[in-house]
Amino acid sequence: MGRYRFLIPCFLILFCHGVSSMVRAGSIHVGSGRQTNSISEALAMAKAGDSIIVHEGLYREMPVITTPVVLIGIGSPVIDGGNKGDVVSIFANEVIFEGFTVIHSGKSSLKEYCGLKINRGVSGVTIKGNEFADNSIGILVQEAQGCRLEDNRISTSIAENPLIGNAIHCWKSQNLTIKGNHIRRHRDGIYLEFVSNSVIRDNDVARCLRYGLHFMFSNY
């Protein structure tokens, strides 16, 4: 009987370990010869907490992120929006987006197209170590909170004044951290409108058309 008492706890330990392995967040690799060659397909496959590892290459697509995931670029993969609209759109909380080059948003004097948009109601997003080039607006944060924009390089070569937006444009958002970004040649470097309780520090902003740091109805 003593032997069976020993076997039962061992069985329970093995069973619980198997269950935890099944529910543990997984990884999806994107690129040539990987699980998929599309970031959008990987996002459709992903569950909350998964990591999507995107390998070096050119991805002509406009990913929409609706699940809390980690997206990591290896070798600075390029996401090209084809001058059509917002290149990357985030609708989920706690997303991490790191290591990408994001280019060619739509360009309009009437709409605020951007390289990456954090949408209304989202919280806890981290955008870190990316390059944004030739977008109208680099990063747009709209009615979000607790987001971090760190160590990104943001620039544009758009020459038409009405089409140039701000490098970082934040509207009706709270508790943001905007730190260590390198910004060139946008309209304003960092634009804050109705933004409160946020930290803006150690950003390198130069050669913009107007202000390096522009406050509108904002406070710390």
Question: How much of the chain, in percent, has pLDDT values that exceed 90?
Answer: 83
- Mean pLDDT (whole number) for 194-203: 97
Task: List, for residues 137-178, the tens digit of each pLDDT value.
Answer: 999 999 999 999 999 999 998 877 788 999 999 999 999 999
Specify the pLDDT at position 163. Answer: 85
What's at 134, amino acid-wise? D
Largest CA distance in the chain: 84
CB 212 within 8 A of CB 189: yes
Nearest CA to 106 among 137, 133, 135, 83?
83
Task: For residue 14, give both structure tokens.
Answer: 């093995």
pTM, entire model? 0.88
- Bridge partners, 206 (sequence order): 184
Q: The tokens of 96 are what?
A: 């991490």
Domains of the chain listed by start with CATH number: 26-216 (2.160.20.10)
Give the DSSP H or E segment for 4: helix 2-23
Tokens of 180: 């260590």
Name beta bridge partners: 155: 133, 184
Give pLDDT tens digits for 70-114.
Answer: 999 999 999 999 999 999 999 999 999 999 999 999 999 889 999
**Best CA proximity match to 140, nearest among 106, 205, 158:** 106
Average pLDDT of the chain is: 91
Q: Which two tokens stand for residue 211?
A: 């202000």
**Interval 2-59: pLDDT, tens:** 544 444 454 444 444 443 333 347 999 999 999 999 999 999 999 999 999 999 999 9
CB 92, CB 65: distance < 8 Å: yes
Pick from 70, 184, 191: nearest CA to 127: 70
